[in-house]
Amino acid sequence: MQTRRDWLRSSLGIGGMLLAPHSILSAQEKEAFNPRSLEPIIRLSSNENPYGPSKRVQERIKDSFVHGCRYPYAYSDDLAAILAKKHGVAPESIIVTGGSTEGLKIAGLTFASNGGEIISGEPTFLAMMDYAKQWGATINWVPVGADKGYDLDEIEKRISSKTKLVFLCNPNNPTGTLVSADKLVDFCASASKKTIVFSDEAYYDFIETPNYPSMVDAVKRGDDVIVSKTFSKVYGLAGLRVGYLIAKPELAAKIRKNIVAMSNVLAIEAAKEALEDEAFYQFSLAQNREAKSRIYTLLDHLKLEYVPSHTNFVFFHSQKDIRTLGPMMLEKGVRIGRPFPPFYDWCRISTGTLEEVDVFIKGMLEIYEG
10 Å CB burial of residue 113 (0-12, 13-18, 19+) is middle
Find the mean pLDDT for residues 267-271: 98
| Topology annotation, domain 57-276 | Aspartate Aminotransferase; domain 2 (3.40.640)
**pLDDT band, residue 4 (cuts 50/70/90):** very low
Q: What is the pLDDT of residue 21?
A: 55
Strands (E), the chain: 42-43, 94-97, 117-122, 138-143, 163-169, 196-200, 225-230, 243-246, 306-307, 313-317, 334-335, 346-350
- H or E segment to which residue 367 belongs: helix 354-369
The pTM (predicted TM-score) of the whole model is 0.92
3-state secondary structure of 16: helix
Q: Does the pLDDT of residue 1 top 60, yes or no?
A: no
Q: What is the pLDDT of residue 31?
A: 79
**pLDDT band, residue 35 (cuts 50/70/90):** confident
**pLDDT band, residue 259 (cuts 50/70/90):** confident
Q: Does the pLDDT of residue 7 top 70, yes or no?
A: no
Find the mean pLDDT for residues 33-52: 89
Mean pLDDT of the chain: 93
Where does residue 338 fall: left (phi above 0), alpha (psi -120 to 50 degrees), or beta otherwise?
A: beta
CA 237, CA 42: separation in Å to the nearest integer? 18
Measuring CA to CA, how many Å separate 237 from each of 49, 230, 285, 292, 299? 8, 9, 15, 21, 29
CA 110, CA 105: separation in Å to the nearest integer? 9
CA 58, CA 73: separation in Å to the nearest integer? 22
Q: Does the pLDDT of residue 286 top 90, yes or no?
A: yes
Find the mean pLDDT for residues 150-159: 98
3-state secondary structure of 47: coil
Find the mean pLDDT for residues 126-151: 96
Find the mean pLDDT for residues 352-363: 94
Q: What is the pLDDT of residue 29?
A: 82
Q: Does the pLDDT of residue 360 top 90, yes or no?
A: yes
Q: What is the pLDDT of residue 14?
A: 57
Q: What is the pLDDT of residue 131?
A: 95
Find the mean pLDDT for residues 114-119: 96
The 10s digit of each residue's pLDDT in 89-104 is: 999 999 999 999 999 9
Q: What is the pLDDT of residue 25?
A: 78
**pLDDT band, residue 12 (cuts 50/70/90):** very low
Q: What is the pLDDT of residue 38?
A: 85
CA 276, CA 273: separation in Å to the nearest integer? 5
**pLDDT band, residue 83 (cuts 50/70/90):** very high
- Angle (deg, nearest 10), helices 127-134 and 99-112: 40
CA 211, CA 45: separation in Å to the nearest integer? 30
Find the mean pLDDT for residues 183-189: 97
Find the mean pLDDT for residues 40-47: 96
Q: Does the pLDDT of residue 15 top 70, yes or no?
A: no
Q: What residues contact 117, with CB distance under 8 A and at least 6 apart?
A: 137, 138, 139, 140, 160, 162, 163, 164, 165
Provide the pairing of β-strand 42-43 with 138-143.
unpaired
Q: Which CATH number fits domain 4-54+278-369: 3.40.50.720, 3.90.1150.10, 3.40.50.300, 3.30.360.10?
A: 3.90.1150.10
CA 29, CA 278: separation in Å to the nearest integer? 14
Q: What percent of the chain has pLDDT over 90?
A: 88
Sign of CA dihedral 133, 139, 145, 146: positive
135-139, 174-178, 199-203, 366-370: least confidently modelled range: 366-370
Q: Does the pLDDT of residue 344 top 70, yes or no?
A: yes
CA 262, CA 53: separation in Å to the nearest integer? 20
Q: Where are the domains of the chain?
A: 4-54+278-369, 57-276
Query: What strand order describes the sheet that includes 306-307?
Result: 306-307, 313-317, 346-350
Q: What is the pLDDT of residue 17?
A: 56
**pLDDT band, residue 8 (cuts 50/70/90):** very low
Q: What is the pLDDT of residue 64?
A: 96
Q: Does the pLDDT of residue 150 top 50, yes or no?
A: yes
For the chain, what percentages of helix, strand and coil (3-state, to nearest 5) are there? 45, 15, 40
Q: Higher-confidence residue: 232 or 12?
A: 232
Where does residue 214 fall: left (phi above 0), alpha (psi -120 to 50 degrees), or beta otherwise?
A: beta
Q: Does the pLDDT of residue 27 top 90, yes or no?
A: no
